[in-house]
Amino acid sequence: MGSLDISFVPRHLLLWVIVAHHFILVTTCENALYSQFIQEFCFDSFKFVMDATDEKYWCDWEKTQSSYGDLTNCTILIAEKLKCYWPNQVVDDFFITIHRNYFKNCPLTGRAPRDPPNNILCAFIMVPMLITLLMTALVVWRSKYNEGIV
């Protein structure tokens, strides 16, 4: 049997392969364990707070900011303890699930959009209309009486 000849491979490439292999082994994250921990420790306390909050206030950032921040910090702390990177795919999937369950009916701004009061709405409609009519009348008037001016 022949032996493997690696003499044609540059030494610095071999060094990088060896170092990268050990780095990957040291920094791997147990995604299943991480997912279980954030469900048990982080989600359960978040769910307790959200269940205590009336559902009509779930979209009010002032009411949910604290519990959402605690949830985020909890996922970060568990990631640090398990030597996982944060954010990662497990965290992304976790927060997508949170948003689908609790914040799916919330507008992007955090408040439901609504029309302005009628007096403001009428002003925004009437002022441009009046300016358009006034400018049209001014142009017509100037074009009629401008013939005598050289």
pLDDT (tens digit, 9 = 90+) per residue, 110-129? Answer: 555 677 888 888 888 999 99
Predicted pLDDT at 148: 58
Spatial distance between the Cα atoms of 140 and 144, rounded to a whole number of angstroms:
6
pLDDT at 60 over 90: no
pLDDT at 13 over 90: no
Residues near 55 by beta carbon (within 8 Å), at least 6 away in sequence: none
Q: How distant, in Å, are the alpha carbons of 14, 32, 38, 106 from that of 102? A: 50, 24, 17, 9
Spatial distance between the Cα atoms of 20 and 25, rounded to a whole number of angstroms:
9
Predicted pLDDT at 22: 44
Write out pLDDT tens, residues 62-111: 888 889 999 999 999 999 888 888 888 999 999 999 999 888 888 776 55
